[in-house]
């Protein structure tokens, strides 16, 4: 059996522990909840809240926006100002040539920026007509392994910084979170969409149906 002093000590300990727990829970419940939303608007289109999956953060705090051509938020941002956009069923930019054009620009800049030995030879091997698929694959991997984290391309009169992808199989284009750069990229993509507007078949591809990433 517990002696009176031991029993009193145990009760005191449990009381202090209970009070401490209550203070901790009160601090947790009253703590400031901080969240961040990236809201983008292009031309006269709607305001679009970019999902966290499309916002990247560097260690130095730099933020990036991932332009994923099949994602509804990206399509809505770029095409939302187009008349009757809201009436289109599952619109997409998956087959828009402007995304591959941006990747081509990035590759051209990587040729200049990659200073590792043999980088130019790698590109020459990739572009040679006699190069095998295996050679091309090695060339692509070697290029990315020696590449900087970002490259600068010029769209119109705007310098745009693009994050170098981990694989060329990815069609996404990742742009620094900067209003001028984002506008330049959207304008560039819209140029491709508008240039095919007169061709119904092509336009149905660049802005046509996609069943992925659209909210229910």
pLDDT at 68: 94
Find residue 163's DSSP bridge partners.
150
pLDDT at 216: 40
pLDDT at 107: 84
pLDDT at 146: 72
Residues 6+ apart with CB under 8 A from 86: none
Coil/strand/helix, residue 34: coil
pLDDT at 20: 64
Coil/strand/helix, residue 159: strand
| Interhelix angle 72-79/179-195, nearest 10 degrees | 80
| Interhelix angle 119-127/133-145, nearest 10 degrees | 150
Q: What is the pLDDT of residues 103-117, one digit of tens each?
A: 899 888 887 766 544
Q: Is the pTM of this model over 0.75?
A: no
Quickly tell me which residue has 């703590």 as its tokens: 31
CA distance 175 to 181: 7
CA distance 93 to 168: 18
pLDDT at 41: 96
> Which residues of the chain fall below pLDDT 50?
2, 9, 11, 116-119, 121-122, 125, 129-130, 198-205, 209-212, 216
Contact 186, 78 (CB under 8 A): yes
Quickly tell me which residue has 């994923």 as its tokens: 68
């Amino acid at each position: 059996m517990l002696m009176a002093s031991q029993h009193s000590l145990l009760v005191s300990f449990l009381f202090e522990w209970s009070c401490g727990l209550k203070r901790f829970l009160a601090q947790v419940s009253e703590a400031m909840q901080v969240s961040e939303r990236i809201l983008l608007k292009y031309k006269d289109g709607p305001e679009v809240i970019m999902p966290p999956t499309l916002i990247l953060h560097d260690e130095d705090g730099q933020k990036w926006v991932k332009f994923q051509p099949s994602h509804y938020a990206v399509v809505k941002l770029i095409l939302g100002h187009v008349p009757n956009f809201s009436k289109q069923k599952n619109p997409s930019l998956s087959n828009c040539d402007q995304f591959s054009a941006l990747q081509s620009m990035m590759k051209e800049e990587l040729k200049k920026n990659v200073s590792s030995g043999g980088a130019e030879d790698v590109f020459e091997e990739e572009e040679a007509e006699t190069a095998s698929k295996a050679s091309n694959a090695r060339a692509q991997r070697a290029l990315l392994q020696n590449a900087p984290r970002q490259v600068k391309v010029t769209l119109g009169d705007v310098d745009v910084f693009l994050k170098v992808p981990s694989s060329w199989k990815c069609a996404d284009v990742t742009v620094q979170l900067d209003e001028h750069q984002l506008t330049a990229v959207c304008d560039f993509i819209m140029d491709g969409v508008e240039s095919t507007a007169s061709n119904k078949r092509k336009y149905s591809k660049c802005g046509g149906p996609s069943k992925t990433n659209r909210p229910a």
